[in-house]
Amino acid sequence: MFRKLMPVTWTLVLTTILTACGGASAAKAPTTAPAATAAATTAPVTTVAATVAASAGPIAADRTGWPTTFRLGLFANDDSKATLQLYDAFRKQLEDRLGLPVEITTGTSYSAVVEAMRAGQVEGMEVGPFAYVLAVQEANAEAIAVVITPGTSKSDVVYDPKAPTAYFSTIITKKGSGIATLADLKGKSFAFVDPASTSGHLSPKTLLVKSGLNPDTELKATFAGSHPTAVLAVWNGSTQAGATFEGNLYTLASQGQIEFCGFPDGAIGKPRSPAEIKAVYDSCPDGKIAIIAYSDPIPNTPFAVNKNLPESFKTALRSVLQEVKDNPEIVKGLKQWYVDPTKDMGLTQLDAYYDSLRDIAKLLNLDLKKLAK
């Protein structure tokens, strides 16, 4: 069952709630770097070419009420310099097309970024999907685009118009454990990631509940603290099954940390039927990690802004974000691009795309606002 939280400060509780898809990290004050600082960093990371494709100049728009500087908050874990450098070409494109200064602000947790928007220190942010849902409630956030990451396990990233806007959590075991179906998990040891992790706890827990299992009483469940640790617990035999996001399995296998029976096409974020999952499981040799079930799709990270910004600014920013896909250097460096699937999905507003997460909160009887107090 969910642990009771003693009264603590807003930032500390947000750290527990919002560090999705991994262990919670201590919330620290966001690090803000002006353009000059971001450009000057020398962290040993993949870099983006300094020269961005020639800009068409600032977008023509009614600029009434626009911010004098657009400040973007990003989750940078413990490597702020690397994040600033990777995003610098993107920052320059935003600056050129919006016609105003753009600053990147980083935090070592999602909570720090959300708190920055709540305090009026940033106008835009990229945080995990569950963190966004709470940010809508507490920081007046509004999604205007969806972050698209590669739908493949390959390292080179190029724009793919067919790339999915969602990802999946998986439930795994080590072939030979005697576990082949969700029903087989009853009474078995199980490694979730973190109580607040979307793909490492909340989404797979929902899958188990829908299958008729009560994870709180019918599994010997523990929290591993991180996605790699949860998988390695299964690989090393310290637990019989576990949950993690799909891409983590391909990453650990490519690093030689596990042996994993993945799908032959190597595609990530692609829906798999029960028959497809069973076929790969059946052909998997004993001793290798195998998937026994996929969660429902989890919406990708949104690019969100303060809802009170002028509509003309949000429209212009949305347009610039969708231009990123046309710049191969930025796509390669960031390993992502942006889309607005609102019309394609038949939605009146993009925020509705994240209603499935709100449904998870209802099914699991989560009150995010109450937990955050």
Q: What is the per-residue pLDDT across 253-268, written as a single tens digit (0 to 9) for each?
A: 999 999 999 999 888 8
Q: What percent of the chain has pLDDT over 90?
A: 64
Q: What is the per-residue pLDDT across 208-236, written as a single tens digit (0 to 9) for each?
A: 999 999 999 999 999 998 899 999 999 99
Q: Residue 25 above 70 pLDDT?
A: no
Cβ burial of 369 (10 Å; 0-12, 13-18, 19+) is exposed
Q: Residue 320 above 70 pLDDT?
A: yes
- The answer to whether the beta carbons of residues 71 and 34 sit under 8 Å apart is no
**Residue 131: per-residue pLDDT:** 84
Q: Residue 370 above 60 pLDDT?
A: no
Average pLDDT for the chain: 84
The confidence band for 11, taking pLDDT boundaries of 50, 70 and 90, is very low
Structural class in CATH, domain 10-160+301-371: alpha beta
**Residue 366: per-residue pLDDT:** 82
**Residue 45: per-residue pLDDT:** 33
- The answer to whether the beta carbons of residues 93 and 320 sit under 8 Å apart is yes
Q: Residue 90 above 70 pLDDT?
A: yes
CATH ID of 166-298, from 3.40.50.300, 3.40.190.180, 3.40.190.10, 3.20.20.70: 3.40.190.10
pTM given for the model:
0.76
For the chain, which residues make up each domain, given as ranges? 10-160+301-371, 166-298
**CB-based contacts of 293, cutoff 8 Å, min separation 6:** 170, 171, 181, 182, 207, 211, 277
Q: Residue 47 above 90 pLDDT?
A: no
Torsion-angle region of 335 (φ positive above 0: left; ψ -120 to 50: alpha; else: beta): left
Q: What is the per-residue pLDDT across 118-164, written as a single tens digit (0 to 9) for each?
A: 999 999 999 888 889 989 999 999 999 999 987 554 567 899 998 89
Q: What is the per-residue pLDDT across 351-368, written as a single tens digit (0 to 9) for each?
A: 999 999 999 989 988 866
Q: Residue 77 above 90 pLDDT?
A: no
Within this chain, domains 10-160+301-371 and 166-298 share the same CATH topology: yes
Q: Residue 13 above 70 pLDDT?
A: no
**Residue 55: per-residue pLDDT:** 59
Q: Residue 43 above 50 pLDDT?
A: no
Compute the radius of gyration of the chain from its Cα atoms: 21
3-state secondary structure of 113: helix
